[in-house]
Structure 1
Amino acid sequence: MHGPFFRGGRKKPMGEINVVPFIDVMLVLLVIFMITAPMLTQGVQVDLPQVTSEPIEDTENQEPVIVSVDRDGQYFISLGDEETPVTLEDISGQIMAILERRPGTQVLVRGDRNVSYGQVVGLMSTLQTAGVANVGLISEPPTGEG
């Protein structure tokens, strides 16, 4: 009986690669990354205010300097993956040093919603004396409609 898969008695080597093990490995890696990605968020735990606003355009492709104020009123400077706790008095010197090395670097402020308005304004005033012309404020979009 000669069916469509009959090759005349000789078996030729199959030139196809079995991709099923590759797919299995990729699915396992996908699950691992989906589980671990939320754990990789770094930074100070700040409960940001929720407002509707337009995002800031990134004109220079430089990573911004983020100055954070947590709910306890402690200050942190984040530049890339580095995050260092600082006092309000030290912020001016550190920001001036960063702006000397990388002029035009964008400076953003992350303030916890439970921090007093006075602390955020004091921080912005300190940044202004350090030579920062424009300070951006980081917020989160509202979670619910209405």
Structure 2
Amino acid sequence: MAFGGFNQGGGQAPMSEINMVPLIDVMLVLLIVFMITAPLLTHGVKIDLPTASSAPNQEKPETVALAIDASGQLFWNDQPLADSELDARLAVAAQQEPQPELHLRADRDTRYQKIAEVMSAARAAGVQKLGFITVPAQ
């Protein structure tokens, strides 16, 4: 690599190239070192582990669909439900093992106060899982 040119005029700019040869040499030395030492680091110890023959039985909890229409009427699994019976049904559901999931569906025009009362009653009864069911926009 020549650093000079044939014309001896002034105003030569400094060289702005990076010399890659030393970097490549270092990389190749490191590659060889890692190739030699890597097999030495992968030693294993043989251990006889016990095998499990049974899998845990996971029961899926039942779901209770609690619907509220626009007028505030309650429906427990699509069966009409009086407001006075709600607390008793929620208490029975909360005592079951595993506890069922309560899916709450409300009409678009349902007052939020009614939804909040149902959620409060579920919490007071001890229901742990409460989900909202919505219909996606079409």
Give the TM-score of the pair, scaled to structure 2.
0.52
Matches of 2:66 and 2:126, distance apart in 1: 15
**Higher-Rg member (1/2):** 2
Q: Within 5 Å, which residues of 2 pair with 1:7-22?
A: none
Q: Which residue of 2 aligns with 1:127?
A: 122
Whether the 8 Å CA contact 1:67–1:108 is kept in 2: the answer is: yes
Q: Which residue of 2 aligns with 1:70?
A: 69
Residue type matched to 2:90 in 1? I
Structure 2 residues without counterparts, runs of 5 or longer: 1-57
Higher RCO, 1 or 2 (CA under 8 Å, sep at least 6)?
A: 1
Choose which of 111, 125, 134 in structure 1 pairs with 2:106. 111
Runs of 4+ residues deviating >4 angstroms: none
Task: Letter of the 2:107 partner, please give it.
Answer: D
Match of 1:107, SS state, is strand
Specify the code of the residue in structure 2 equivalent to 1:97.
Answer: V
Contact 1:88 1:123 in 2 (8 A): no
Aligned-CA RMSD value: 1.8
User: Cα 1:61–1:134, aligned 2, differ >3 Å: closer, same or farther?
Assistant: closer
In structure 2, relative to structure 1, the CA distance for the partners of 1:109 and 1:61 (3 Å cut) is: same
The normalised TM-score by structure 1 is: 0.50
Percent identity between matched residues is 26
Shift of 1:124: 0.6
**8 Å contact from structure 1 (residues 88, 126) kept in 2:** no
Q: Deviations over 1:66-86 (max 9, x none)?
A: 1110122100111xxxx3322
Shift in CA distance, 129/77, structure 1 to aligned 2, threshold 3 Å = same
Q: Distance in 2 between matches of 1:128 and 1:112?
A: 21
- Cα distance 1:94–1:118, how it changes in 2: closer, same or farther (>3 A)? same
